[in-house]
Every structure is written in C-alpha cells, then in structure tokens.
Structure 1
Amino acid sequence: MEHTIPFTSTNLMEVVGAMKLDQAFRFSFFRLSLFALLASPAAAQLSPGFYSFSCPNAELLVRGAVRSASAMDSTVPAKLLRLLFHDCLVEGCDGSVLVQGNGAESSDPANKSLDGFYVVESAKRLLEIWCPGTVSCADILVLAARDAVELSGGPSVEVPLGRRDGIVSSASDVRPNMVDTVFSLDQMMQRFAAKGLSIDDLVVLSGAHTIGSSHCRTFGDRFQQASNGSLVPADNSLDSNYAMELANKCFAGASDSTSVANDPVTPSTFDNQYYANLLANKGLLHSDSILVTDPRTKSRVQAFAQSPEKFFASWADSFVKLSTVGVKTGDQGQIKVSCTNM
C-alpha cells in the first residue's frame, strides 16, 4: 500500500509551525569539527550552512515531514535510517537508492524490504514549493535519517550539506557493496574500509539496530528445522531463552513478512541498549553477535553498553562520516525534481 502525507492547507501550517518549534534543535550540544572529518575533495565542498541563503528553512521542512510521518507510523524512523545505509554503501550518498523501476538499486532483492521512500518524496515535494530546484534528494535523505534518530531519542547531529543526486542507479551495484547479515567480521571490515570507514565506525554504526526490526529470514541461519517442523537453535552464542522466543515467533511456515524487533528491550528508542543486548547474548543477527565474540570489537561494545554518552558522541562522529561517503558535489550529478525518478 502506498503511503502519502497529504498537503492540505492545514497540514502545511502544521509543518510551518513545527519549523518554528524546532528552532531550539539547531543549537545542539553535539557540535563537531566537521571539516576535519571530510577527507575527500568532494566531501570538503559540503557545509552545514549550504542552504542558508538558497533555502534557509530546508532542514526544518524535512524535520516537519519526518515528524508528521513518524506520528502516523512509529516504524518510520528505523526505515529512514536503513534507507540511508543502503544508499551510502552502494553508489555513495547520492539518493540513488530512492529511484524506482526495474534495474534500479531498489529493485535488487537485498533492497526489496526497504520502506520510507514516501517520506523523502513528500519532503521533496514540499521543498519544491518553497525552494524549487535547490535541495537534492541525497541531502533530504541524510537530513531525514538524522532527524529520525533524534526524534527516537538519539543525539542531535549537525551534518554538512550540498550533495547532488546521482545519475546512476543499478541493481548490479548492490551486492558487491552491501554488508550481508551472515558476513564474518573481516568481511564487514573490508566492505566498510572500502568506503573509508573504520572498525570503530562499524561497531558504532551497527548501533542503528537499536531501533527497527528484521524479517525472520535474515537470521534463519541461526536456526535449523527439527523433524516436527519446529525451529531449534543452531547457534550456541544465543541466549537460550531469547533463542526460544525467536523460534516461537519465526516457526516453520511463518509468513515471509514476519519480523522481530532488533532490540527486544527498547525497540523504538534510539539508545545504547543494543550493546547491552549483545553482552547478554541477545544480538538478533549473526553480524550483531560477532561484535561481542571477536576481541577486536568486544571492548568497544562494552564501553558503549556502559555509557550512553560515549555511544551518542561516537554516533555523531561516525554518522557524519557515513553521510559523506562517495558524495557528488559541484558540477557532478544533478538536482532532481522527483526522488523516485532518475
């Protein structure tokens, strides 16, 4: 079913009102030395104040769209955050994952369960009214994911802007770049390193799994089917009671759409509970659990489990790094009118 955010005069006034109410968010206690993080020449052209004159209300308009959508559907924040990951790790943060159609990135089986496109497109339509031909879909997606985290209880992060939209969106580019849930730590590190992200960034950004849910098939490798059709754990690293809960929810024959919360304790709150879950052997995915079973990452997991402040500060840093992977700036790419069309 297609979702839309209706643009009535009342709704528009609500968004404008939200713009005023959210002015306080612009001065967050998490201010970064952004330019020190922007390593590539293209990324160095990004700036937090990129739209200060051309579209000064851009960030507040996006926040209003995310807030409205999240009020109607509590799963929106996690969906927007996942969209950003799937965008940045393939062609870079250029909005190419948003393109719809056969052969586009979104058509690859690994992206079939992505959702939240309508929120970005709704924000784009609104921005085309206020600032036509100015704000890229790539920037809107970064802002939407940033706001999704904050609206879920996470830190406020100042992000550099000025990305342009990509002109290529190919399903064949997805698999060679995306991280799979069955990967080993070394495989994940290799994929991240190829994007300029470190092992510390890997541990920090995995914390995105503190919100959202995963379909049963994404962790099916951790179970095997018994003769009576029930599921039994095939992975001893899982807490036995937690494994039983998962088996009961994902029994043999369960719908392909059946999903389980990534964080069984605070599933809708962006916090450091994810890391506490890992230490309690309640990491849902293999790619989660490996972080606490490998000595190269376990100490980082322990540190984040003990200190939400440390996790939030590290998240702000790593999120900015993720959001500047492979960006297009200057005369590269384009500024699209619609995010779903190439």
Structure 2
Amino acid sequence: MSKFGYLGNFLVLCILVGIVGSSHGQLQLNFYAKSCPQAEKIIQDYVQKQIPHAPSLAAALLRLHFHDCFVRGCDGSVLLNFTLSTKNQTEKVAVPNQTLRGFPFIDGVKKAVEAECPGVVSCADIVALVARDSVVVTGGPYWKVPTGRRDGRISNASEALANIPPPTSNFSSLQTSFASKGLDLKELVLLSGAHTIGVSHCPSFSSRLYNFTGVWGKKDPSLDSEYASNLKMKKCKSINDNTTIVEMDPGSSSKFDLSYFQLVLKRKGLFQSDAALTTSATTKSFINQLVQGSLKQFYAEFGVAMEKMGKIEVKTGSAGEIRKHCAAVNS
C-alpha cells in the first residue's frame, strides 16, 4: 500500500491530525513572568556560559527536544530514568534514544532554576527553551517558545521505538509520522533542516553503504557514489563500526545554514530519510525554494515550525506535574 493507500486510512489520519492540532494546550509567552520572573534569563545565562565550551551540544539538545515531543508530546518524558517503581524500560533506553546527549546539561539548568524558584518551572519547558537558546548561541535561528508545559509521569521505551521516525524512513513513513503529530510536509522539510548541524554514528546509515535492502554488497542507489565511497574508505570502514562519528552536513556541521539542503539535492544526504525528501515532488519543491531563497527566510520558517513542534500534545493546567528532578517523577 503506497503512501496513505486506501481512503479509510486517509480519513483516519485526517481525524487524528485534527485531534492533535487541537491539543496544543494553553501555552503562553512569558508564562513564568509572575511565578518565576527570572526563569528564562537564568536558563539563557546558563546556556550562554556553557555552550561556547561545548558547541556540539547545541545539535544534541535540539535533537533531545525533537525526540521528547514525538513521544507523548513535549512533556519531558525522554528525561526519565528507569527505576523499579516505573516497572518498564523508559524512553532513554530505546534504540532511537541510545545516542542522545545533554541529560547532565538539562540537570544543571534545572538545578539553577530550582535554586531560584523551587517546584515552579517544568523540565519540559527547560528542554524547549534550552534547545532554542543553544542554537542561538551558536549563531543559529531564534524562535518563540511559549511556556507552561507540565511534565509527564509515564515513559515507555516501546513508545519511543514506535513514534520516533528512524533514519531509514522512506517518504511514506515520514509523511505518516509527521502528520500524526499535526505537522505537514513543509514542516517535515524545515525540521529536517536541523541536520545542518551535528553528527551521527555509522549504524544510522551504514546499511546504505554495505547491505541496502538486506542484500550484502548492495549500495543505496539514491546515494551519490563518490560520497558513499568516501564514507566507506574514511569513516565507516566496517558495517560493525559503532563508534565513529560522521558530520551530517560535511564541512558545515557547526553552521546553521542551507548547506544541508544543497547536499540533499546532490544526493549527498547522510540518511535514507534525507534522500526520501527528494522522492516527493512536493517536498523536493520546498527544498528548491529554500535553496533559492535567503538564509533569513529559512531561519524565519524554521522558527515557526519549531514553535509548532514544541506544542505537540503538551500537558498544561493540572495535567502532569512539575518535577523536582528531571530524571525522576515526584514521589
């Protein structure tokens, strides 16, 4: 069944998108203006002090925000550790999350905020604000972050595996995954643009080099041959390499720019999911528009997409809780 296939599935998806689209909750800018007026400045100051010493963390913290929002909404559930009381493996141990970084950084921010206003600022809001502020510090775009999220109390590894789109995704699965979160095809392209910074590990794409579609020795035909050969000779020299890191946007992985999209059009996107964006006339057209446009315009549109992503299925009001420690639910 290609793309959405039968009409029944399409109608179900439309209903689901409608539900998700109406579940953004009551977030607002400067939510803590009265309850903790210094909260956002404390977070910003912490980021501005620490990120210059570890700029690669900006991409990691941005990814952390994405992985949080795609499972149970943006509720900080990705931060929870497994304990005997939880009775299940948490999102942290799921395959998509085993290479996540930045948890100690979030804990450090939480500690600083708690010192000012105990029990007021949620870990979910901290993740959202830190993602934005760390990208800005490294010269990337700014976007609005309405706050008021509350923290979830449930975290399941199986849900992370089911909801986070893997780097091996084809266009159909990407479309379905993003639509289920209320995100359209343009937002799929824009949010994929986050791959302009940061690195990945060989297992995320090595099948494209060594055994595409499970056939040993077969290379992904959608991957530029010269680029593939370079990856095999200089980076992922074995399909069993689990430690080597590779830039997602070679030569420009520390700059939030349009280079990623340019590489995707040249068949040099690192992941199968990157290449998938060119298999749809609609998403390929969006990419061409971005490449032909200005960096300022990309920043503006990326920011709007990030603001929308940050509202996915949030918990507000009396839902959830404000955790004392981000890695554990309140006792």
TM-score when normalising by structure 2: 0.86
Q: How does 1:63-212 map to 2 (within 5 A)?
A: 63-101=44-82, 103-212=89-198
Q: Which residue of 1 aligns with 2:277?
A: 291
Which residue among 316, 319, 324 is the counterpart of 1:329?
Answer: 316
Q: Structure 2 CA distance, aligned partners of 1:128 and 1:141?
A: 15
Deviation at 1:67, TM superposition (A): 2.6
SS in 2 for 1:69: helix
TM-fit CA distance, 1:233? 6.5
Find the aligned partners of 1:39 and 1:295 in 2 and give their Cα distance: 25
Contact 1:232-1:247 within 8 A present in 2 as well = no
Match status 1:305 vs 2:291: yes
Matched, 1:236 2:230: no
1:40 and 2:22 are equivalent in the alignment = yes
Q: Which runs of 5+ in 2 are unaligned?
A: 1-19, 84-88
Query: For each residue in 1:1-46, what CA deviation from the matched residue of structure 2 results, as whole angstroms up to 9, or x when unmatched?
Result: xxxxxxxxxxxxxxxxxxxxxxxxxxxxxxxxxxxxx9535x3411
Change in Cα spacing, 1:172 to 1:254, as seen in structure 2 (3 Å) is: closer
Q: RMSD of the alignment, in Å?
A: 1.7
CA deviations on 1:121-172 (whole Å, 9 max, x unpaired) are: 1000000001111100000000011112212222211111000000111112
**Conservation of the 8 A alpha-carbon contact between 1:153 and 1:271:** no
Over residues 61-115 of structure 1, what are the superposed CA-to-partner deviations in whole Å (9 max), with x where a residue is unaligned? Answer: 1122223332222211011011011100011000000111261110112211111
Write the distance in 2 (CA, Å) between the matches of 1:44 and 1:177.
21
Q: What SS class does the counterpart of residue 293 from structure 1 fall into?
A: coil
TM-score, structure 1 as length reference: 0.83
Q: 2:151–2:315: 8 Å Cα contact kept in structure 1?
A: yes
Structure 1: gaps spanning 5 or more residues = 1-37, 226-230
Q: Is the 8 A contact 1:91 1:326 kept in 2?
A: yes
Give the count of matched residue pairs. Answer: 299
Identity %: 41
* Further displaced range: 100-109 or 297-306: 100-109
Is the Cα contact below 8 Å between 1:238 and 1:281 reproduced in 2?
A: yes
Contact 2:61–2:102 (8 Å) recurs in 1: yes
